[in-house]
Amino acid sequence: MTPTEMAVRAALEGASATLPISESAHRALEGIWIGADPARWASSLAAHVGALLALGIVVRERLGAAIGALGRALLRRGSLGRSDAGQDAVAVLLGAMLSAGVKLAISAPVARLEQMPLAVGAGLVATAATLAITPFAPSPSQLRPRPMGALAVGLLHGLGSIPGGSQVGAAFVGVSWLGTRGWRAVEFALMLTAATLTVDVSVGLWRAPRLADLGHPAVAVAVVVALLATVLAANLWRLIAEGSRSLLFLLWIVPLAIAMLGLARATEVGLELGSPAGPSVRICARSSGNRAMTTA
């Protein structure tokens, strides 16, 4: 893997983990553009480390206050619900626990579906549809979801791990419909994503071979590029959210969905063709699909 390919992959990982544009779909896109690589797992893990560091920077004030409230409650055995920061901590903890459980529960069928361009395209259509109805959500009425609402948001966040889905996008939509709008909704979705990403990175570092196997310069490139891409993406979303223009993301999601569905159709046509040209079409389509879905 060249440094340029590493940087492109890290940038896509960071941006797609932060914006509601589907991380899994962009991993599929990477596979089409760059192709499969044995070191893909390592570059993805390094990029997630960078994205996690960046999210900690972006939501540092609110997340730091929540962590502080949690620490004080544990040390003094007090109630978390007495302060805004404590309520944030409760909501993020509840949402993150349910999200992680749902993601684990559906991991087996997701692993099968993510090999299918049609599944990725359908997931992107669902992501676009949920974002499209966000402007009709109720007016702002609370600063964060209440405990039951946090569980509902966690459920959506976990289900957002389906091929073509967006975990941060699903959480944003859920929070918006529960009465938290604008940057407050985005901020909560990013906090929840940071919490679950912490689990993913920890498990990845424990289960996978050492990142050093990828080479220290390559790891540094992936971490730094993903960090910068995540910070830029978060600030872009802040501008979009404050202007209530989240529908702008559809300008990227819809064409990507069309491309994935087109790839699925091309694969199907290639398999159905019985003419002398059929085998070459089939091989080309299946090769592209396999390269795309290997990394989804």
Across 57-77, b (16+ Cβ under 10 Å) vs e yields ebbeebbebbeebbebbeeee
- Looking at residue 293, its pLDDT comes to 38
Tokens standing for 190? 């990013």
Give the least confident one: 93-102, 244-253, 262-271: 262-271
Task: Report residue 106's pLDDT band, with 50, 70 and 90 as the boundaries.
Answer: very high
Give the chain's domain count: 1
Q: Give percent of the chain with pLDDT exceeding 90.
A: 56
Q: How far is CA 55 from CA 14, 21, 33, 60, 258, in A?
A: 10, 17, 27, 8, 30
Do residues 234 and 18 touch, judged by C-beta distance below 8 A? yes
Pairwise CA distance, residues 168 & 170, whole Å: 6
Structural domain boundaries enclosing 21: 3-294
d(CA 202, CA 200): 6
pLDDT-based confidence at residue 160 (cuts at 50, 70, 90): very high
Q: Per-residue pLDDT averaged across 128-142, rounded?
A: 92
Evaluate if residue 284 carries a pLDDT over 80.
no
How high does pLDDT run on average in the chain?
84
SS3 content of the chain, % helix, strand, coil (to 5): 80, 0, 20
Distance CA 127, CA 143 (A): 24
Token readout for 103 is 């993601």
Rounded CA-CA distance 27/164 in Å is 10
Residues 22-29 have a mean pLDDT of 87
